[in-house]
Structure 1
Amino acid sequence: MTLRFGILAFPNVQLLDFAAPYDAFAAVPDAEVLLVSQTTDTLRASTGLSFLPAVTFADCPQVDVLCVPGGAGVNALLGDEPTLAFIRDQAAAAQYVTSVCTGSLLLGAAGLLQGKRATSHWYARDFLKHYGATPVDERIVQDGNVITAGGVTSGIDFGLAVIQALKGQLEAETVQLSIEYAPKPPFNSGTPSEALPEVLSAAKKRLASSRLEREAFFAKLR
C-alpha cells in the first residue's frame, strides 16, 4: 500500500527544509512524495534554486503525512487563506501533521497548535505562543499526531523520526544508512547556547529582516 507524503511548496521556501525530509521520505519503499503548491508554476527557493511542484492544492489527493517547511516565504502566507485552508483540510484526515523550521508558524496560523507543545527555528520559536502553543527548545517535538522540528538541518532527523513512527525503527535506520546520515559537524555552533557571542550576534543580524517582518505581522494581530 502506497504511503503518501505531501510537502507544501511556496516561493522563498528554505531549500533544505523540504529537500531533507523529501530525501528521507522518498527512500521508503512504496512511498509517494508530492510537492504541493497553489499552482504548478516554477518556484524559487530562498537560495535561488528553481523547482516545480507536482500538484496544486485543488488536485492534491489526501496525504498520510502533511509536511510544512519554513523559510522567509512563510511570512507572506501567515494570513493567506487558500494556503491555510489547504493545511486545515489535509490535516483533518492525515495520520501525521508535521512541520520543519518556521513551517510550524503556518500550522499555528491554521489553528492546529492550540494547546500543543511545538518547536521551530530558534529565532522564531517565541512566535508560537501567539497561536496558543507552548514553545519547546528541542530538535523534534511530538504532541499527539503533530510533529514539529527545529531549524533547517533538523529536517533529516525529523524525516527519520516520522519514518520510525510510521514504519518502525528498522526501516528508519535502514533509510539513515541508505542516505549515509552520520553527522559530524566541524564546529560546535549549531545552537544559540553553543555558539560564541559574536557568532550569535552575526546570525541574528543576518536573519533580522525576516524576524522584523514577523514581529510586524504579530503586532498587527495584537
Structure 2
Amino acid sequence: MLDHNRRNLLLGAMLTPLLASLPRLAAASEVAMPEHAMPGMGRDMDKVPWMGDEQIAMLVYPGMTVMDLVGPHCMFGALMGAKIHIVAKTLDPVTSDAGLTIVPGATFETCPRDVTVLFTPGGTDGTLAAATDPQTLAFMADRGARAKYVTSVCSGSLILGAAGLLKGYKATSHWSCRAALAGFGALPTDARVVRDRNRITGAGVTAGLDFGLAMIAELRDQTYAECTQLMSEYDPEPPFNAGSMKTAPAAVQEAMRQLAADFSRKAEALSRSIQG
C-alpha cells in the first residue's frame, strides 16, 4: 500500500528544525507554529504555511498510466499534514497499464465525502473503461460537486468530462485526446497545466510533476512549492527535444499520431456519446 506519510521524507531534511521546535499539543488536531518556523532562514520563510490538513482523493483504476498517479502523488506527499486517499471501487490491487500494481486504501464508500482535492490519472483503454463505468462516474460526480479542487493529469480529464465536471471549463489533456474534451462541453486548451477557477488539469504523463508543483503552490504557497521542487531536484534536461507536438521532428509526430489514432477515435466517440 502506498503510505503517504513516507512521502513527507521529501522535505524531511529541510524541515527537521521545524518539527523539532513544534511544542507538545493539547489536542492532536491543533498545530501551533513556532515564532520562527525555519531558524536562520529569514523572515519570509517564517511566514510559509508548512502545516495543513488537506484531504486528497486520488482515483486509481485498472489500466491507468502509473506515472500519471505517481508524479502528482510524490508532490502531494510533500504536503505536511495532508492526508492522501488512494481510492478505487474495491480494495483489490489495481494494476496499471505498465504492470505496476497499486493497493488502494479507500473505496468509493469509505473515501471522505468532502475532499480538498479530487484527482484522476489517465491512460488509454483503461481510462475509457473508467469513463463509462457508472460507479466510477457517480463517485467522481459526487465528490467533485463538493471538492475545493477538481483535477486530473493526461487523459484523466476524459473521466472528469464524462462525469459532467468540465462543462464550461478550460481544460487540457494528452495531445492524443485533447480535442475530445469539446464533446463534454469543455474548452480544450493546449498548455502544460491549465487552471479555470477550481478545475486544474495537466497535460500528458510527465506534466503531472508540473501539475503537482502548481497544486502545492495553490494549497500552500510558492515558497513551499519551490522547496519541494529543490528537494525533488526537478530540473529536467531531456536528452531529446521531442516531448511536445510543438518540438518533435515531423516524422516522430506522424508516427505517434498513427500509433494513437485508434485511441483518439475512441476518445472522440466517448465524448459524442456523453454529449448525445
1:25 aligns with 2:83: no
> Residue type matched to 1:102 in 2?
S
Deviations 1:90-142 (A, max 9, x none): 11221111010111111111111111111100110000000111111111111
| Equivalent residue, structure 1, for 2:263 | 210
Q: For 2:101, which of 45, 50, 54 is the aligned residue?
A: 50
| Equivalent residue, structure 1, for 2:34 | none
| Equivalent residue, structure 1, for 2:43 | none
> Residue type matched to 1:113 in 2?
L
| Equivalent residue, structure 1, for 2:60 | 9
1:134 aligns with 2:187: yes
The 5 A counterparts of 1:37-116 are 37-61=88-112, 62-72=114-124, 73-116=126-169
**Alpha-carbon deviation of 1:219?**
5.2
- Secondary structure at the residue paired with 1:2? coil
Question: 1-side partners of 2:105 and 2:99: how far apart?
Answer: 19
Question: 2-side partners of 1:29 and 1:42: how far apart?
Answer: 27
**Alpha-carbon deviation of 1:218?**
4.2
**Alpha-carbon deviation of 1:208?**
3.3
| Equivalent residue, structure 2, for 1:124 | 177
Deviations 1:183-202 (A, max 9, x none): 11111111112111111122
Identity of aligned residues (%): 44
**Alpha-carbon deviation of 1:210?**
2.4
Give the direction of change, closer, same or farther, for the CA distance of 1:36–1:108 in structure 2 (3 Å limit).
Answer: same
Pairs aligned (count): 222
Q: For 1:169, which of 222, 235, 259 is the aligned residue?
A: 222
Give the direction of change, closer, same or farther, for the CA distance of 1:94–1:215 in structure 2 (3 Å limit).
Answer: closer
Q: Which runs of 5+ in 2 are unaligned?
A: 1-51
Question: 2-side partners of 1:45 and 1:171: how far apart?
Answer: 31
Question: 2-side partners of 1:220 and 1:116: how far apart?
Answer: 19
- Secondary structure at the residue paired with 2:91? coil
Q: For 1:184, which of 233, 237, 259 is the aligned residue?
A: 237
Question: 1-side partners of 2:110 and 2:273: how far apart?
Answer: 34
> Residue type matched to 1:74 in 2?
T
Contact 2:184 2:271 in 1 (8 A): no
RMSD: 1.4
From the two aligned structures, give the one with the greater strand fraction.
Answer: 1
Question: 2-side partners of 1:212 and 1:24: how far apart?
Answer: 33
Scaled by the length of structure 1, what TM-score is found? Answer: 0.95
Contact 2:155 2:177 in 1 (8 A): yes
> Residue type matched to 1:28 in 2?
L
| Equivalent residue, structure 2, for 1:148 | 201
Question: 1-side partners of 2:223 and 2:85: how far apart?
Answer: 24
Give the direction of change, closer, same or farther, for the CA distance of 1:166–1:41 in structure 2 (3 Å limit).
Answer: same
Q: Which runs of 5+ in 1 are unaligned?
A: none
**Alpha-carbon deviation of 1:179?**
1.2
Question: 2-side partners of 1:123 and 1:210: how far apart?
Answer: 8
